[in-house]
């Protein structure tokens, strides 16, 4: 079996739903910029070398519909020979896209491909514009359609993840992100042309500007402030807007190659894709998914938790992320995730609580963040993982190239 390498990996900023800098920018335009940038960061590789573009999207309809993977590739001026498709596994959709391209390369079916993701939560709402659950099935098993926030409350209640634990975790996510923003550590970010419409003399005028930072980071966050927030999903619950991921807009992309292609184009790869796994769990506690998926992926890679030097564990909710870390034996080792620890290896530059969770884009977004930090720190093994609506988890293992 061949090896599959990631040779470049980028993301747009993640910006707040509705109020953020990308709220009026169409998802195709976000994805186009990620696709263009991932090629620009691979010197010597032209667009006609790319055989296929797979794009993860959690709600591929309306502006995100009509096979946005193919549409965006055409808008980005890839040739007609470059194919495109849209992939959906909800929160891991774009990690699935990367994994599928890696598997095709490993099987010898492809040499150069892109795995990407996009989600405009400002333009296409969570749940889509016209959700239509199956009526009889919804009566028999409504859990598969359950609000993600309610599942986060279930995890907190069933596994004794307190409000104080969640708020502390959220605080450190914001502080890690604040530090990274101040020190310009997000080298994977592509300055992105954004759109806004302003009224001038009774006419709406389209204006463009460049957005080059995540606009959801709250540098002034305090544990005391988080403690004052009201719960969102249950009157007597513990899940708040402050200890949950932000709903955001964004796009990301990774360029993958076979060993033969790497040699042909004379490019130094960042890392190779070692393993990918998905695992199922109860739908009403979908957040526990990483606790099942990570061990499965590590077993495929022949590795242990202790072998991993960097982690990107998606912070869909603090409650589920804490539980997954507990099951992996990571939470109690506080120096591994606290913002004021120089030994931290988990979500080192903040997670989705601070940076946002643009659903189908998140897998590719976390990959870009992980590739940047693995290269910067010289870390041999990195893992990214996330929970998935409907009751699943996904995890991927990457190995840094020497």
Of 348, 170, 186, give the one whose Cα is nearest residue 244: 170
How long a stretch of residues is the chain? 402
Q: Determine whether 387 is an active site residue.
A: yes
Q: Which of 110, 321, 357, 367 is catalytic?
A: 357
Which candidate in 15, 91, 110, 361 is catalytic?
Answer: 91
CA atoms within 13 A on the CB side of 370: 33
H or E segment to which residue 321 belongs: helix 318-327
How many Å apart are CA 72 and CA 251, to the nearest integer? 11
Phi, psi of 280 (to 5 degrees): -95, 155
DSSP bridge pairs for 9: 254
Structure tokens at 399: 């190995």
Cα angle 351-353-356, degrees, rounded to a multiple of 5: 80
**CA-based angle 127:130:133, to the nearest 5?**
70
160 CB-contact burial (10 Å; exposed 0-12 / middle 13-18 / buried 19+): exposed
Q: Is 134 a catalytic residue?
A: no
Active site includes 357? yes
Tell me the three state secondary structure of residue 95.
helix
Strand partners, 86: 55
DSSP state of 244: B
DSSP, res 200: E
CB 8, CB 256: distance < 8 Å: no
Cα 203 to Cα 213: distance, rounded to the nearest angstrom: 30
Residue 157 CB neighbours (<10 A) = 15
Q: Is the dihedral of CA 331, 386, 280, 137 positive or negative?
A: positive
Q: Scanning the structure block, which residue is given the tokens 């959690």?
A: 58
User: Active-site residue among 57, 110, 367, 387?
Assistant: 387
Token readout for 66 is 């009509």
Burial letters 4-19, b for 16+ CB under 10 A, else e: bbbbbbbbbbbbbbee
Give the residue numbers annotated as catalytic, written as ranges: 91, 357, 387
């Amino acid at each position: 079996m061949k090896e599959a390498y990631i040779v470049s990996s980028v993301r747009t900023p993640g910006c707040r739903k509705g109020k953020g800098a990308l709220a009026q920018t169409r998802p195709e335009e976000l994805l186009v910029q990620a696709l263009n940038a991932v090629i620009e960061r691979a010197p010597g590789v032209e667009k006609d070398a790319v055989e296929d573009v797979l794009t993860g999207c959690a709600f591929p309809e309306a502006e995100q519909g009509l096979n946005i993977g193919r549409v965006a590739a055409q808008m980005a001026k890839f040739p007609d020979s470059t194919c495109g498709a849209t992939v959906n596994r909800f929160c891991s959709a774009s990690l699935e896209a990367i994994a599928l391209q890696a598997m095709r390369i490993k099987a010898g079916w492809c040499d150069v491909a892109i795995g990407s993701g996009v989600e405009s939560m400002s333009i296409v709402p969570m749940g889509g514009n016209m959700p239509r659950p199956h009526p009889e099935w919804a009566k028999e098993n409504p859990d598969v359609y359950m609000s993600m926030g309610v599942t986060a409350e279930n995890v907190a209640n069933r596994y004794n993840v307190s409000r104080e634990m969640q708020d502390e975790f959220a605080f450190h996510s914001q502080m890690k992100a604040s530090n990274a923003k101040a020190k310009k550590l997000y080298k994977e970010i592509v300055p992105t042309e954004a759109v806004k419409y302003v009224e001038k003399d009774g006419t709406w005028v389209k204006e463009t500007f460049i957005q080059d930072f995540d606009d959801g980071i709250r540098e002034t966050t305090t544990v005391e402030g988080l403690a004052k927030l009201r719960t969102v999903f249950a009157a007597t619950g513990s899940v708040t807007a402050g200890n949950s991921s932000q709903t955001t807009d964004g796009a990301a992309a990774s360029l993958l190659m076979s060993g033969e292609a790497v040699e042909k184009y004379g490019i130094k790869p960042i890392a190779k894709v070692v393993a990918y796994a998905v695992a199922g769990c109860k739908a009403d506690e979908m957040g526990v998914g990483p606790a099942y998926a990570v061990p499965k992926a590590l077993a495929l890679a022949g590795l242990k938790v202790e072998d991993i030097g960097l982690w990107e564990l998606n912070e869909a909710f603090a409650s589920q992320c804490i539980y997954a870390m507990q099951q992996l034996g990571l939470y109690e080792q506080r120096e591994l995730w606290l913002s004021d620890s120089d030994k931290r290896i988990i979500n080192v530059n903040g997670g989705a609580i601070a940076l946002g969770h643009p659903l189908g884009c998140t897998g590719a977004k976390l990959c870009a963040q992980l590739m940047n930090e693995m290269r910067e720190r010289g870390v041999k093994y990195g893992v990214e993982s996330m929970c998935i609506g409907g009751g699943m988890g996904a995890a991927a293992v990457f190995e840094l190239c020497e």
